Structure 1
């Protein structure tokens, strides 16, 4: 039933009952001992789970231990930022008259195949500015606002260029854009203990 490298192979067999009262063969819980300390790894470009497992455990097939220690990620690919779902942030400005067509932008982008989520992010920062008043230079703190559109999409279905084109088609100007990635973020790399 389990491969020779399975974490469940050596566990003893037991019988449990399901909600309908059927008796089912299963395995006992795999209890892992408590270990003191914090074991973290900072994700770098090009990280792979099998390589991390080999560095930590001298066995590249034990990558699942890293997945067990990081349950907030739905897939091993998501943990390292290699899944097909990508989030980009695009700086936008609206040079036209009146209010920017934010509703149209969100509607048009979410209607495209592969786009999962669209958000408008206002980044307001306080900056020091100077102005001349009656011959004196006055320094004051003012606001500088920038707007970004963050788009989460499946890179297998949609390309960044198509997203930028859709934004520009509504009269927005687009500036720099960048991918929001997992590089530099931390994951837990558990110690080599057997439970």
Structure 2
């Protein structure tokens, strides 16, 4: 192979599979070949950071009828960002966060973005 072509292939920019607002942004895809030769494509595992790694913006007390998509729209400006509320509260099942009125939910910044020193 031509050395320039090899360099271009090795250093090619790849288009992310998911936009930056997706919980799967940056997660690599992989393939598995089954014994029968069938190829199965999948995403590698996403590791959720511990909730204490997120800077707290505020808390929300759950009221009857609250929905995560509505809370994400209210606090984060995008209903599809509900997964950030899940991550911030260590929830594996999104519905569990709004099942009990009176529960306090953490509304946070994404991991790695520091909050104001006096926030909370």
Which residue is equivalent to 2:35?
A: none
- Structure-2-length-normalised TM-score: 0.50
Deviation string, structure 1 residues 153-175 (Cα, Å, up to 9, x no partner): xxxxxxxxxxxxxxxxxxxxxxx
**Structure 1, unaligned stretches of length 5 or more?**
16-23, 82-181
User: Pairwise mapping of residues 143-154 of structure 1 onto structure 2 (< 5 A)?
Assistant: none
Superposed displacement of residue 69, structure 1: 1.5
Which residue is equivalent to 1:188?
A: 106
Which residue is equivalent to 1:51?
A: 70
The 1:68/1:27 distance shift into structure 2, 3 A limit, reads same
Greater radius of gyration (CA): 1
Identify, as 1 or 2, the structure richer in strand: 1
The 1:26/1:60 distance shift into structure 2, 3 A limit, reads same
Superposed displacement of residue 2, structure 1: 5.1
Task: Report if aligned partners of 2:55, 2:108 keep a CA contact under 8 Å in 1.
Answer: no
Which residue is equivalent to 1:8?
A: 24
- Structure-1-length-normalised TM-score: 0.33
- C-alpha separation between the residues in 2 aligned to 1:47 and 1:80? 6
Identify, as 1 or 2, the structure richer in helix: 2
| Number of aligned residues | 84
RMSD of Structure 2 on Structure 1 (CA):
3.7
**Structure 2, unaligned stretches of length 5 or more?**
1-15, 31-41, 113-120
Task: Report if aligned partners of 1:8, 1:30 keep a CA contact under 8 Å in 2.
Answer: no
Task: Report if aligned partners of 2:64, 2:101 keep a CA contact under 8 Å in 1.
Answer: yes
Task: Report if aligned partners of 1:8, 1:27 keep a CA contact under 8 Å in 2.
Answer: no
The 1:65/1:58 distance shift into structure 2, 3 A limit, reads same
Selected match of 1:80 from 85, 90, 98 = 98
